[in-house]
Structure 1
């Protein structure tokens, strides 16, 4: 029988220096003596690429639910983001979105918002906020190779330095924020904990992304997006343009098997013209490419259902991509990690009490449930998807959401119901509230738009670009 550990101090070990790891450290730092983050690579100074984050090449934004969670964990972060050049985009006021049901209107009254910036900038601001606390330290170029303890209690980790030397690091709580490469499922098996359920649902989507020098000032420029329509017989493809710091546009194009984008820089804008509307291609025709095209195939939805296990050891928690990763087209990962970290901090108000880890894992599953329902609820309807097929209920729900989306093109109330959900500030059940059901039944109150809803000032800028281009021909 393993002897109960004797704690002389309360130290927490966080596996992974990702943004999820930093937010985990932010959640616990005020409740313990020290936090040590174990990171396999070096961490950059300032907004520079971090090794092991290929998804940083693709568009990122923070939903309102995620931004509010980060601000609660690290007050002042959003202000620092804005000062560094990030954009606060009111929803739907500053969004030009072509949904499968038509153009969404840009309602004057914004009900939600999102923050748009490069992933490198977001990472660096959060990292600086966390590491300025003297209780938080980072051990870089070090890997966690195993857990200490047994099926009842995890008491620390075994680490391996760059020179191959191993050491034991004791901790009152170990938080796995290592991301998609998590080894927690294998470590649980070694501890004798089995029966972990896992789901992987993959639409086969491929991402191609590129940075551009914008031909117009990007402050207050709208987000522009063309969504895929899974009902069409052709491969689902989509695209998005986000204004980011440095007067740049960050552009990502997505395509399913049979219609995937490539690394060819000469084919990037041509692919944008194959989307359901050419608005992105029309904008890029006036912009200057700043980078090559980055590609990723890692777009599957994958989830471990830790909260369902019959046994869970005290002293261990997992959050962020270590629990669930999503198709990046929905931009949910950072926001879900932030909400999970906030749930952990709330539970720590009562201290590191027995059973905390299991309660934390169940609380972390809450925001995961919402994001999972949104992502999977869309992806299962593509003909290329593997891992799940839509049943009768799924098809009925898709038809209802499609009707609500069509209503949202001409109804502020329907648009608000959708943005409540998409901003991760409401549960999926909110869209079947009787008031929302009635709104969907009534349908749109205004006629559908027949062109992208740019404002008069935006159209004036775009007309100037078109005229300038015509005069040089």
Structure 2
């Protein structure tokens, strides 16, 4: 509802200055009179590290579905990213990827694109666009510590300022975008709302990452990756090289318990040599490391089923990692958050209706469903995974998707079906349509590649 259609000014408060928080502000800006973002830390003025985002030191890519959602919320943002040095990489035309079933072909017909850049740059470009909006403000060094209201309606948030004073911020709509560190379950319990279901699936993967000066100009350089194969008896390992701004490569190496990478810089290249194929190690041998090695073990998938609660207060929405966080190895987090924010914006077009919060939380749940299925559908098949084990249906689906993936190494139709889902442009159910089932049954139309294609820059960039 626009400000002209009601008497009392309406206000939204967004908890968290993350990408999800900024996109939430963009989603509501045209439907309330003011938006205030509450951020516990300082927000940098440029594309620099932001406190509280440990995952920023690891590789990030923005899937097609996320790029489209961001563009719908903040028109022109993708071009700004590209102008700042980000790369727009056609899928799979400019990718050198070794899947468990073989090498992906670099089909000349690109059906999707991914955007690769440092997380700091992506954060900054989105943040800069949002904070230019006149009705959007931000309070830094301010921590949200609880909700105002009751189990029927949330009326704001209680925050603690840098001088340890507590302040009440009244709001018609509160959006929690505080990420993996969310305290929403505890806040709801204080309002008397219990019975929240939580899914927690942890494959135990650890990331080690660093940035390199590329030995060649990176314009047109492909994504290079070696994926883990959960069917192998030893702990899974994988890795990827993404071209980012400034003729640099962002590199992440990933290992399961028993083969975790470490902070040791001297062990980084040797670890790359242990992957299922040495292509990453061969490339890194010619590159100059620019940073130390950063490691994280925070790769669990976690989802709160807020949409299933018997009681959900009006005036409250949880978005992004606050609702569902994914193993970052699958590259779905930013895209899922953007699609959730876009779903919220579309619902707000009806106005601040009495059932908006419940409908919005259900819409957010739908927006994360595909990403959740992709991430957990892979992770549950690692022997190290805790939280859930695959049942018979899971095993059958995994075998089928494996066959489809093998078919995709030599079938454009199969490759397109898979990349539509990975790009969050189609639900996983499209993989079992009659035409895709027939494609998987027939198998690859071309002989699978027995070695990677040259990682030279693509002329179709």
- Taking structure 1 as the reference length, the TM-score comes to 0.95
Q: RMSD of aligned C-alpha atoms?
A: 1.2
**Is contact 2:86-2:244 (8 Å) kept?**
yes
CA distance in 2, matches of 1:317, 1:448: 47
**Is contact 2:222-2:456 (8 Å) kept?**
no
**Is contact 2:221-2:456 (8 Å) kept?**
no
CA distance in 1, matches of 2:432, 2:407: 14
Q: What's 1:389 paired with?
A: 389
**Is contact 1:211-1:250 (8 Å) kept?**
yes
Q: What's 2:74 paired with?
A: 74
CA distance in 2, matches of 1:184, 1:306: 10
**Is contact 1:141-1:161 (8 Å) kept?**
yes
Q: What's 1:3 paired with?
A: none
CA distance in 2, matches of 1:137, 1:456: 45
Displacement after TM superposition at 1:455 (Å): 6.0
Counterpart of 2:224 in 1: which secondary structure? strand
**Is contact 2:96-2:455 (8 Å) kept?**
no
Counterpart of 1:30 in 2: which secondary structure? coil
CA distance in 2, matches of 1:457, 1:319: 37
Q: What's 2:421 paired with?
A: 421
Displacement after TM superposition at 1:197 (Å): 0.1
CA distance in 1, matches of 2:360, 2:374: 22
Q: Give runs of aligned pairs for residues 40-439 of structure 1, distance below 5 A.
A: 40-439=40-439
Counterpart of 2:115 in 1: which secondary structure? strand
CA distance in 1, matches of 2:133, 2:390: 48
**Is contact 1:103-1:409 (8 Å) kept?**
yes
Q: What's 1:25 paired with?
A: 25
Displacement after TM superposition at 1:367 (Å): 1.8
- Deviation string, structure 1 residues 252-307 (Cα, Å, up to 9, x no partner): 00000111100000000100000000000000000000000000000000000000
Displacement after TM superposition at 1:415 (Å): 0.2
**Is contact 1:7-1:172 (8 Å) kept?**
no
Displacement after TM superposition at 1:47 (Å): 0.1
**Is contact 2:73-2:342 (8 Å) kept?**
yes
Counterpart of 1:241 in 2: which secondary structure? strand
Displacement after TM superposition at 1:7 (Å): 8.1
Q: What's 2:3 paired with?
A: none
Displacement after TM superposition at 1:454 (Å): 1.6
Displacement after TM superposition at 1:123 (Å): 0.2
Gaps of 5+ in 1: 1-5, 459-473
CA distance in 2, matches of 1:162, 1:329: 35
Counterpart of 1:128 in 2: which secondary structure? helix
Displacement after TM superposition at 1:345 (Å): 0.2
Counterpart of 2:45 in 1: which secondary structure? coil
Displacement after TM superposition at 1:8 (Å): 2.8
Counterpart of 1:338 in 2: which secondary structure? helix
CA distance in 1, matches of 2:193, 2:138: 29
CA distance in 2, matches of 1:161, 1:102: 53
Displacement after TM superposition at 1:453 (Å): 1.1
Q: What's 2:34 paired with?
A: 34
Counterpart of 2:30 in 1: which secondary structure? helix
- Count of aligned residue pairs for this structure pair: 454
CA distance in 2, matches of 1:329, 1:396: 23
- Deviation string, structure 1 residues 202-260 (Cα, Å, up to 9, x no partner): 00000000000000111110000000000000101000000000000000000001111
